[in-house]
Amino acid sequence: MARGIKDRVAIVGMGCSRFGERWNDDAETLMVEAFDECIADAGIDVSRIDAAWLGVGFEAQNIGPSGIPLATALRLPDIGVTKVENYCATGTDSFRGAVYAVASGAADIALAMGVEKLKDTGYGGLPARSRGLNFDMYGVTGSAPGNFAQIAAPYRAKHGVSRDDLKRAMAHVSVKSHANGAKNPKAHLRKAIDIETVLNAPMIAEPLGLFDCCGVSDGAACAIVTTPEIARELGRADPVLVKSIQLVTSNGWELQHGGGWDGTYFHTTRKAAARAYAEAGVTDPREEIDLLEVHDCFSITELVTMEDLFISKEGQAWKDILDGFYDADGHTPCQIDGGLKCFGHPIGASGLRMIYENYLQLQGRAGERQRADGPKLALSHNLGGAPIQNVSAITIVGLEGA
């Protein structure tokens, strides 16, 4: 494996807008909202930023096909801005670009921004056109809930899980996230729910009910990264360090007849997780990872991802979930900020929003949501596309020595 980037880059500032139905705000306003918090957190002047990356999923309805809107909105100092789009991994890929620039020595200080005015697109999880020729050939016959719901039946059959047990575990995922989101002033949905409400909700795509699906929101999040040496010069005695970033893209294997994929897991996530742990030096993720932020577009996605990240054993995630292993007060909290379930999923922003929560938690700055036992190592995960063809991205951040 390549030498990797463990501990070669530090996060010195992060910011996150309020997520929700921001009808009266444009993408530039959301970027400024996130950046104002981020630059104040970093304690630097904007003139020190050497390069920037901008992640947006739906360019035509948001900001167009270049990085100019970011440079203009923030009055960046005549630097290069690279625009990134990589399905739901867009925000993480923006962060990856900034991190790699610092790790390589191409920049001393770099900015990563992710933003999406998803409400303005009219996109709500149903088939949509104008997303490229490839998508128009195969994507218009499916929907996001329909695609991801299809994981449930083969998972049940393979692991001998009853529909009621799986449905109750999925419901616990949503109840847990809503309880966490109720404590987060930046979340879109801030109301706790009970398990019966989830179980009795209208069906969207069997077995996914209404509360098994994340919402549609607008939002922005950003990060400023630099070298550990510069971070300490800026007064960060114990900076949050990047331990690993890994991204894996489907190559068609899942679609191949007789290829071996049985539809019960996300192949790219397993590959990305194994590489991320190797880069970060993690040998026992169930015990070493203190916090998880994963791509809970649907409750079944979060459940299966717990196994793909090698936290739960294969076929056992539903039991861990029901046992409270991933609750805010459990062994390894998952979505302690409310997750996509309560923030919604503005595509370009979600990856950075996840890193933002882990960054706050590692510094003991998460307020009412703060994990009391002092987390040292945290993981975030994005999954873009559909189970049969997707992009997975994993970022591990932590304190020195973790």
Active site residue ranges: 88, 345
Exposure string for 166-182, b = 16+ CB within 10 A, e = fewer: bbbbbbbbbbbbbbbbb
Segments of 148-302 assigned E as strands: 203-205, 208-209, 218-226, 240-249, 291-293
In eight-state DSSP terms, residue 88 is B
CA atoms within 13 A on the CB side of 28: 11
CA–CA dist 138, 161 (Å, integer):
31
CA–CA dist 21, 82 (Å, integer):
27
Look at residue 83 and give its three-state secondary structure: strand
With CA atoms as reference, report the closest residue to 178 among 166, 165, 188. 188
Long-range contacts from 141-144, C-beta under 8 angstroms, 24+ separation: 142/386, 143/205, 144/297, 144/298, 144/386
